[in-house]
Structure 1
């Protein structure tokens, strides 16, 4: 008789497990078909060469990628692009979130306006800023001329800085929303206790806000780095990778290898290397972020 309740609990546990796997099945199938299967196909294609990627090449494409100066150049500027946009998104997003967390008139409208660029497609944002920065007809140079300031060749003299600015303009609103949610999740009792202990605004920010926002900061940093490493539209639409490959982001370079040079095996190897790099960055960020959470 004593074993009957145990068997009943075991039966319920198995039933709950089957139900859970049944609920997860659509997500598992989605990732299998649209993520893991393409990655496997990418890995297979990367081991081949030729116009149709039908000649087995082993690791030749990977050794070629490591020794290719164009790949190293695009990778370096892409890492710079990703790190700068990540730091910018964290700093500006947190600053805007703290500003709009205060009881200001019209703050809901400002929050919505700051989020609109993130909800706009990369193609529209790229075309918009390419027209704004046009050296002859762009509104920005017309404004400089009206102020008796010399017009600038934005896309020629500062191409990488320009697409970094456009990237921040588009994505800082998303970071702001995440930080705003994190700020609103901090109980007021922590700030009240810090105030009683004599902590001013700077100390409250350093010892209360920043530590309790660490999970949000970690999430924003991971998403921003991944987005920056995968950036394509900014270089494709605004600068076309130029001038002189100064804004030749990694994915844009892979695109040119695949669809301009028609070297699908080599482009697949470059794409798989990017997957490895993104995974490595994510693991490092998670370990560092969790270590900081434990310390605080």
Structure 2
């Protein structure tokens, strides 16, 4: 990508999009194109058509999506399927129609079958049934991956797809009900410390294993792949390392300085026992994560303190 190329970052105010936007600024790109959802509703076909015909971006990072935790995914099943399909269809099709040189579509780890072998290889896509609670979102994301490949096959578009593992970092969501496990634990331990609570209770047994990638590392990988990857299919982006929820909780407890005790509520669901990405394809291309989990949690906690205190 040329430094003065017009680059559209869709979803620039979310955790992933904002990290990509910062990365491009830091690399010296000067012609970045962004729109808030109130300025441009990506679900609106006519609005997206007008935007692309007027602006003519040369490169597109498609990080915009309707997202949420398990409860939101399971409650608003129609919305998650319909709105994400609209966003993808509009942006990918208009990128083709308006001669975008390269587009990157960002997926989600829920695209893989619920009972796929571990670690998750790219070729496990569509080899089994999905997790029921977020199936509509997963189907939308799978459609986006297949759409990028179909436009490559039929129209020779250079559209690529990446599949991030669990993410955390700057601009994360710390909502008490809607946040994911790592930011939820940061908030829970912080509030327990501030309020002088002696016990923190954690959902589940603590035994499931999860992998976490700092969002700025994902942005670095996206930038690397935009420069170096031009193939169909998708690329997993992660660390290739996981840990139990219990060990994650103990690490966050230590970083925040909570001195009480932990209990685990085994009556609450554990979810999938393990969800680890196979990142050998990405490593073979020449990229590896830089920010280890302890350092990343410290950075995220500082960001949480700056915005929520």
Q: What's the TM-score, normalizing by structure 1?
A: 0.24
> Which structure shows the higher strand fraction?
2
> Which structure shows the higher helix fraction?
1
Larger Rg belongs to: 1
Q: What's the TM-score, normalizing by structure 2?
A: 0.23
